[in-house]
């Protein structure tokens, strides 16, 4: 330490740790709900039932589930599963209200919402994971920290680029990949880039490339304090309006 040879470890401030806890709590509750839904699917599959509704856990789907003829024990289990899902839905709604409240007071979140594919929840997640963007001197440092940079192997003067390192923030990687899948559907620029990479390297690598490209843009957005110039300005306005409802 006297020789300044020990690298500093970033410790996020208390407010940022609170935001991280909030978005990670929502993710854990959603995962719990998904697990219960999977058990419902497994239960009705044993009876060979096929739901005719697109959303099994929507209003009509739930009504259909409650009307199924099952054995007495399985009927009890299904009823408990559905009550659990309803309870988790209420918890998620309460967390979403808190997330919207926190997001409405954050200028970085407003800037992130200008990007196609990023919603209120993912914007707050990205914001909480990155923290102060000024701690990354370049977008390459941010992409490397997120684990979206390709690994590098060198033998003499020959360099080989492999898969992404997956070192760094797992939450940030997950959020960007999810956002990338939406962006390639609704953002013309991202779609062109995705198709070009997909033609050479396949869907999954193309999505990861889009995620890295989005993170590069995010670095410029937060560094320059300028919103993304989306062709759909109406979508940006609707996102901002959702913060104040």
Would you place residue 165 in the very low, low, confident or very high pLDDT band (cuts 50, 70, 90)? Answer: low
**pLDDT at position 236, please?**
60
Q: What is the pTM of this model?
A: 0.81
Q: What is the pLDDT of residues 86-136, one digit of tens each?
A: 999 999 999 999 999 999 999 999 999 999 999 999 999 999 999 999 999
Q: Mark whether 67 and 176 lie in a shared domain.
A: no
Does residue 5 belong to any structural domain of this protein? Answer: no
d(CA 186, CA 202): 20
**pLDDT at position 90, please?**
97
Q: Mark whether 175 and 219 lie in a shared domain.
A: yes
Q: Mark whether 63 and 121 lie in a shared domain.
A: no
Q: Mark whether 131 and 169 lie in a shared domain.
A: yes
Does residue 3 belong to any structural domain of this protein? Answer: no
Q: Mark whether 128 and 79 lie in a shared domain.
A: no
d(CA 195, CA 202): 9
Q: What percent of the chain has pLDDT over 90?
A: 72
Q: Mark whether 57 and 178 lie in a shared domain.
A: no
Number of structural domains the chain divides into: 2
Mean pLDDT, residues 59-77: 94
Q: Mark whether 207 and 115 lie in a shared domain.
A: yes
Distance of CA 88 to the CA centre of its chain: 19
Q: Which has the closest alpha carbon to 102: 189, 18, 191, 217?
A: 18
Choose the final residue of a domain: 58, 83, 105. Answer: 105
Q: Mark whether 217 and 181 lie in a shared domain.
A: yes
d(CA 32, CA 190): 32
Instruction: Say if residue 242's pLDDT is above 80.
Output: no
**pLDDT at position 175, please?**
94
Instruction: Answer with the residue of higher pLDDT: 237 or 228.
Output: 228
Q: Mark whether 224 and 153 lie in a shared domain.
A: yes
Which residues is 160 bridged to in the sheet? 153
Q: Which has the closest alpha carbon to 23: 167, 175, 165?
A: 175
d(CA 96, CA 30): 11
Q: Which has the closest alpha carbon to 113: 244, 15, 230?
A: 230
**pLDDT at position 154, please?**
52
Q: Mark whether 94 and 122 lie in a shared domain.
A: no
Q: Mark whether 126 and 173 lie in a shared domain.
A: yes
Does residue 2 belong to any structural domain of this protein? Answer: no
Mean pLDDT, residues 4-27: 86
Does residue 194 belong to any structural domain of this protein? Answer: yes
Does residue 7 belong to any structural domain of this protein? Answer: no
Choose the final residue of a domain: 47, 76, 105. Answer: 105
């Amino acid at each position: 330490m006297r020789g300044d040879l020990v690298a500093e470890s970033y410790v996020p401030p208390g407010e940022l740790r609170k935001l991280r806890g909030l978005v990670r709590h929502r993710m854990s509750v959603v995962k719990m709900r998904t697990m219960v839904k999977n058990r419902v699917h497994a239960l009705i599959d044993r009876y060979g039932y096929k739901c005719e509704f697109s959303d099994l856990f929507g209003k009509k789907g739930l009504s259909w589930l409650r009307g199924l003829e099952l054995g007495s024990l399985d009927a009890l289990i299904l009823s408990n599963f559905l009550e659990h899902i309803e309870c988790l839905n209420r918890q998620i709604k309460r967390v979403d209200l808190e997330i919207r409240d926190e997001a409405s007071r954050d200028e970085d979140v407003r800037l992130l919402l200008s990007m196609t594919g990023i919603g209120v929840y993912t914007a707050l997640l990205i914001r909480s994971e990155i923290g102060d963007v000024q701690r990354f001197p370049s977008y390459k440092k941010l992409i490397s920290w997120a684990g979206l940079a390709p690994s590098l192997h060198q033998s003499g003067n020959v360099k080989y680029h492999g898969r992404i390192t997956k070192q760094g923030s797992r939450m940030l990687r997950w959020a960007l990949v999810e956002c990338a899948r939406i962006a390639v559907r609704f953002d013309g620029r991202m779609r062109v880039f995705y198709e070009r990479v997909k033609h050479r390297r396949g869907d999954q690598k193309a999505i990861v490339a889009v995620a890295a490209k989005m993170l590069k843009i995010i670095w410029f957005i937060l560094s320059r304090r300028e919103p993304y110039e989306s062709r759909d300005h109406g979508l940006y306005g609707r996102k901002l309006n959702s913060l104040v409802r």
